[in-house]
Amino acid sequence: MKHSRCRRLLYLSRIVAMIGFAIALAAPTPSDAAEIKVLTTRAMNHVLTELAGAFERGSGHKVTLILAPPTEIVRRVVDGEIVDVVMSGAAVNNLVQQGKIAPGDRLVLARVGIGVAVRAGAQKPDISSPEALKRTLLAAKSIVYTDPAIGGASGIQFEKVIDRLGIAKEIKAKSIVNARAAIKPSAEFVARGEAELGIQLISEIVSVPGAELLGPLPGDLQAMTAILAGILTAAPEPDAARALLRFLTSPAAAAAIKAAGMEPGGS
């Protein structure tokens, strides 16, 4: 798995280098350069950091990433925080409904499933079916998942899963409900030995050193999360923001999104 992670990072680095070269000719003059502030959840953070770097090198614009959970993103925008782009799922739709993002300035960047994390080198229990997942969850000494109260899609779905499997009481009794997932992803608890299993979006697991993706939630227990992007109606740099989103939905960016364990979005 260590070699697999290294190959994935090397592949992503090569893609990013090619992307940067491809857009270099379209770079604006220094007087046209802008700072694009992006308020985002952690779901796409790893690949977004790499892609933003390539965009900066090729375009001359600067991208500033600000991490926050979905409910906090909505609150901060409603309270008047000045940013150009929001990247999330439900938070973007919420802001469209509130008139903070125009429907035509909303798009799907990627889709990602929910996975189970184990510590690197640990045993690999079976989660290939709902019944196998149930046995593995019950056998685990400790579990960590994102607090549904902060709007995390993986935590919301996981509580539905354990309710459906009829084991909610047993699982909640031995779980860490991670309310700081935007700062410390659940897979970090697993990597440090603070929990045996972690439930999180796959893209958030594969970027954490010391943690491994055991696999996705099986069958119809899975729920794909759409990573949406929206340009705020009050964005200070709307043209530069649109250039960033065009870049993030380009075929070259799609390759980097796939390398990070996600599916490119489409409209």
176 touches 143 (CB < 8 A): yes
Q: Do 69 and 43 reside in the same domain of the chain?
A: yes
Q: Do 107 and 120 reside in the same domain of the chain?
A: no
Q: Which of 146, 119, 143 is nearest to 42 (CA)?
A: 146
Give how many domains the chain has, as a whole number: 2
Query: What confidence category does residue 266 fall into, taking pLDDT thresholds of 50, 70 and 90?
Result: low
Residue 262 structure tokens? 């996600």
Q: Do 84 and 177 reside in the same domain of the chain?
A: no
171 touches 182 (CB < 8 A): no
Listed residues 203, 221, 239: the one ending a domain: 221
Structural domain for 22, as ranges: 2-111+225-266
**Which has more pLDDT, 193 or 19?**
193
The amino acid at residue 197 is L
What is residue 126's three-state secondary structure?
Answer: coil
Residue 189 structure tokens? 């608890």
CATH number reported for the structural domain that contains residue 126 in this entry: 3.40.190.10
DSSP 26: G
Rounded to the nearest 5°, which phi and psi values hold at 204?
-80, -25
Q: Do 86 and 182 reside in the same domain of the chain?
A: no
Q: Do 148 and 230 reside in the same domain of the chain?
A: no
How far from the centroid of its chain's Cα atoms is residue 104's Cα? 22
Task: Provide the whole-model pTM.
Answer: 0.82
pLDDT at 267: 45
Q: Do 83 and 119 reside in the same domain of the chain?
A: no
Q: Do 99 and 26 reside in the same domain of the chain?
A: yes
Q: What angle do CA 181, 185, 190 make, to 5 degrees?
A: 130
Q: What angle do CA 123, 128, 133 make, to 5 degrees?
A: 75
**Which has more pLDDT, 63 or 252?**
63
Kindly state the percentage of the chain with pLDDT values over 90. 70
Q: Do 58 and 154 reside in the same domain of the chain?
A: no
Q: Do 256 and 217 reside in the same domain of the chain?
A: no
**How many alpha carbons lie under 13 Å from residue 35 in its C-beta half-sphere?**
7
111-169 confidence digits (pLDDT tens): 999 999 999 999 999 999 999 999 999 999 999 999 999 988 999 999 999 999 999 99
What is residue 114's three-state secondary structure?
Answer: strand
Q: Do 207 and 235 reside in the same domain of the chain?
A: no
Conformation bin of residue 166: beta by default, left when phi > 0, alpha when psi is -120 to 50: left
Q: Do 177 and 233 reside in the same domain of the chain?
A: no
